[in-house]
Copies of this chain bind each other. A is one copy, B any other.
């Protein structure tokens, strides 16, 4: 296994757990059992390392997600909002085959990216992977054409918040569900709980 991958593997675990600001290069190289200087040799800077960690997941996720959403858009029948959000399940759970705990790690990283480091990662994702966002809004529009662009903007951000925040604290939530309700829940279980919630939220009657 290459030094570069050792660094990426160690970094994603620590970034997901403690955030980007909260993780030092020394912790990463120590967990990955590589030399401190290797990070700057292979990635140039901490910021570039963060981008590389996210890109490894996005490159795995985005083609599958795009084709699932594109299928909904091209289909003749009108999808429900549940269909649209369910299109995320397969591609997201596939990350578990790509890497151990991949789904959970990726979603936690996404949450970190929105709150840490004042949104530079949000900028990075929306500019580097614009097609995913375009197909998604198109699919939602097909499922719920009455929703104005502005309403959709707000509700998709609320949805993003729900998912990302839930996954950032999913370890704690799964622990609580276990101790309070004697229920074994895994990440797929959390996803199945959250989909009806966000679908109903997006489908809510229009406000004012």
Q: Which of A's residues lie within 8 Å of B, judged by CB?
A: 17-19, 21-22, 111-112, 114-119, 122, 149-151, 153-155, 157-158, 160-166, 168-169, 172-173, 176-177, 180-181, 183, 190, 192-208
Selected A-B contacts with CB under 8 Å, 23 pairs: A18-B118, A19-B115, A21-B22, A22-B117, A111-B115, A114-B168, A114-B169, A115-B165, A119-B172, A151-B193, A153-B180, A154-B173, A154-B177, A154-B193, A157-B166, A157-B173, A158-B162, A158-B193, A161-B161, A164-B165, A192-B207, A197-B204, A201-B201
A158 and B150 in contact, given A19-B21, A203-B200, A207-B193 (Cβ under 8 angstroms): no
Residues of B within 8 A of A196 (CB): 204-207
Contact across chains for B150 and A183 when beta carbons are under 8 A apart: yes
Task: Please give the count of copies of this chain that the complex contains.
Answer: 2
Give the Cβ gap from A104 to chain B, nearest Cβ, in Å.
15
Contact of A150 among B151, B165, B181 (CB under 8 A): B181
Contact across chains for A166 and B177 when beta carbons are under 8 A apart: no
CA distance A201 to B161 in the complex (A): 13
Give the Cβ gap from A184 to chain B, nearest Cβ, in Å.
12
